[in-house]
Amino acid sequence: MPQAYIVDAVRTAGGKKGGALKDWHPADMAAQVLNALVDRTGIDPAAIDDVVMGCVGQAGEQAFHVGRNAVLASRLPQSVPAVTIDRQCGSSQQSIHFAAQAVMSGTQDMVIAAGVESMTRVPMGLPVTLPMQHGIGTGPFPKSIQDRFGVPMFSQFIGAEMIAEKYQFRKEELDAFALESHRRAARATGEGAFADEIVALPVRGEDGEERLHDRDEGIRHDATLEGIASVKLLKEGGKISAANASQICDGASGVLVVSEAALKAHGLTPLARIHNLTVTAGDPVIMLEEPIPATRRALDRAGLRIEDIDLYEVNEAFAPVPLAWLREIGADPERLNVNGGAIALGHPLGASGAKLMATLTHALKRRGKRWGLQTMCEGGGIANVTIVESLA
């Protein structure tokens, strides 16, 4: 079977809600990632067969096909097509899967898998709430689904509390995990670990001066356990707070996926080889637990054990998610999210999948490691798993 290779993977530095990236139109922000992949690899942009763009909030400035609009806002020729997809938080990880599948099928040779989300300019949930504000419809879950699962709605916040309760995590454990995320992210930033993956964007500060946004804005370099513990719980008697959950974030990301023929034709050097693509689905009520069975299936299909994997990125949607994954998979916490995760760095929804891949592939290269695994919990009880082999 033909192989799919990652040549480069990049992301913007995360912007807090209403923060450094607030003035960037999401199509323009995504365009900068596309431009960076072309500039960094030296490829002929006209040779790109397709752009697959993940985005969750497809309303407002992210409506009317943000993937195509990103191409039109970039320096890519208008002859490059695009598609916008939504697999909730795993949207751009699925973009990578679709790009790899296109290459492995032999139908395309060079595809950019990307993602974008401006959670400042298109607030989370807007595609649901906007029609209802105008008296149109009753929401995404019809009575048939409510009756089948015995719930009036599906909520990631409820799912996170359910996982915390199922695995009997104490709030202190969740807060300690959050603190470690900030510490790792701060250390990685200080050591320059993100330098090779970040596309710096010009922004204007509150003082009116223009500067380059090249550092993740959400990292609390002075975070303390006491400070995290003091943050108000999302529900009375619960264990989840904004401090042990992922941060609302603006950002864009992209991964260039190519065939072996394209490597030779364009003189490209691969960063990694895509070894396994897995997606599974399970309980839509607890919702966020699916990375566990998905990882088991991916490892089995790849003929690998968790002990073989050098680094893993498990999206920190909420602290109980990676903690439950660690326990059930029997994984080494020292290999998990070694540069911090979404609790510190932010979770720009549709951009997070390719964002994590940028961090994973560059971390493998930087540390001289071979195998990497990435997984993401997704709305509806779905999870993607991608296993890559570093070639750098």
Q: Which residues contact 105 (CB under 8 A, 6 or more apart)?
A: 2
Beta strands in 142-233 (DSSP E): 198-199, 201-204, 210-213
In the chain the first and final C-alpha atoms are separated, in Å, by: 22
Choose, from 182, 213, 362, 377, the residue flagged as catalytic. Answer: 377
Choose, from 97, 275, 347, 362, the residue flagged as catalytic. Answer: 347
Task: Report whether 294 contacts 385 (CB < 8 A).
Answer: yes
* Residue stretches of the chain with pLDDT short of 70: none
pLDDT value at position 391? 98
Which of 14, 21, 359, 355 is closest to 218 using CA atoms? 14
pLDDT value at position 208? 80
55 carries an active-site annotation: no
Model pLDDT for residues 282-330, shown as the tens digit of each residue: 999 999 999 999 999 999 999 999 999 999 999 999 999 999 999 999 9
Radius of gyration of the chain (CA): 20
Which of 122, 123, 67, 59 is closest to 91 using CA atoms? 67
89 carries an active-site annotation: yes
pLDDT value at position 136? 80
Which of 1, 3, 7, 20 is closest to 216 using CA atoms? 20
377 carries an active-site annotation: yes
State whether residue 319 is helix, strand or coil: coil
Model pLDDT for residues 174-217, shown as the tens digit of each residue: 999 999 999 999 999 999 999 999 999 999 888 888 999 999 99
Choose, from 89, 213, 249, 275, the residue flagged as catalytic. Answer: 89
Q: What percent of the chain has pLDDT over 90?
A: 92
pLDDT value at position 137? 80
